[in-house]
Amino acid sequence: MLILVTGVAGFIGSHVAQALLRQNHEIIGIDNLNAYYDPKLKLDRLEGLGNQPNFEFIEGDIAEPKTFERLARKNEIGVIIHLAAQAGVRYSITNPFEYAHSNLIGHLTVLEFARNLKTKPLLIYASSSSVYGNNSVAPFSEAAALNQPVSLYAATKLADEMMSYCYAHLYGLRQIGLRFFTVYGPWGRPDMAYWDFSEAILEGRPIQVFNHGDMKRDFTYIDDIVEGIVRIATQEPVFPIGEPPHKVYNIGNNQPVKLLEFIATLENALGKKAEMEYLPMQAGDVYETSADITALQRDYGFAPNTPLAKGLQKFADWYLAWRSK
């Protein structure tokens, strides 16, 4: 099958593309290689994809319709996996317009492209656990009514879900939205805490522990996330009868971990102790994330099985090797 992956040079996109290529699918990947974090890391991820015959890369902005006009084989696309976005909660406080551009205009441009394809593709798109804000009851269920985002990032992801529902209602565009819960692993994102912590620990700098360590996160290992996305991309979706063909799923680990426990596990993986600097809660952050994954288990057999210690060891091994290059 021909699959379009947006954000293919990103952390999750590059892993998903690799997994689908291993299953002999053909991949067209789009990414604008922006400098939100070091584009060298994005180019290195692409290097691992670029030498495969079933992979084609298009450098372009998903918020520009002309990017999609360059897709010569667009009428063969069976599935679109839309992961390109401006990620990060904290950066959205200082750079709000980046989020409007990639997450609002970009998402709408992907919807317009998808609904006009003759192939009637399935569109799988990235949402985020941040849509649950601070008032949801743990574990977070997709059934909860959500309208209180606490960061602009979360507001744009909620808006994406609304736009997607609307396109399912108006045009019958089949869609699955995935609320990712703190994904970590090799080839990860330098703006995320586990990367920042690792760098500081190895350099002997104190790590910044927000809300004095009183936080919980549902950390999900990248291979578990990829396994879930591949299942969704390759199985027939189950949509509720008589409703627009749109469903949103949590995709997480269902085992929230306290921040201090996470740091201790990372110390073990890196073989070095951290020096802590305890700080108050940051604007836009949430206290806890916790995924109820029963819907994805029921509909797709999703079963994350990587314990934190194993996943962090894999990250640490990769990070130490990558850093020494």
Sequence-ordered list of residues with C-beta below 8 angstroms from that of 66, at least 6 positions apart, any chain: 60
Residues 16-35 that bind ligand NAD (CB under 6 A): 30-34
Q: In this chain, which stretch among 3-11, 237-245, 264-272, 284-292 interacts with ligand NAD, using CB under 6 A? A: 3-11
Residue with tokens 């947006």: 6
Q: Which of 280-283's residues contact partners 24+ apart within 8 Å by CB, and which partners? A: 280/210, 280/211, 280/212, 281/210, 281/211, 282/90, 282/210, 282/211, 283/90, 283/93, 283/151
Q: Which of 91, 132, 153, 184 is catalytic?
A: 153
Q: Is residue 109 involved in binding ligand NAD (CB under 6 A)? A: no
Answer yes or no: 153 catalytic: yes
| Helix pair angle (308-323, 259-270), 10° resolution | 50
Residues 290-319 that bind ligand NAD (CB under 6 A): none
Among 87, 230, 266, 293, binds ligand NAD (CB under 6 A): 87
Asked if 152 and 92 count as a contact pair (C-beta separation under 8 A), the reply is: yes
Q: Is residue 251 involved in binding ligand NAD (CB under 6 A)? A: no
| Helix pair angle (308-323, 193-203), 10° resolution | 60
Q: Is residue 4 involved in binding ligand NAD (CB under 6 A)? A: no
Among 77, 81, 84, 312, binds ligand NAD (CB under 6 A): 84
Q: Which is nearer to ligand NAD, 205 or 310 (CB)?
A: 310
Q: Is residue 183 involved in binding ligand NAD (CB under 6 A)? A: yes
Q: Are strands 2-6 and 77-82 parallel, antiparallel or unpaired?
A: parallel
Interface residue list for ligand NAD (CB under 6 A): 7, 9-13, 30-34, 42, 61-63, 83-87, 102, 106, 126, 128, 180, 182-183, 189
Residues forming the active site: 153
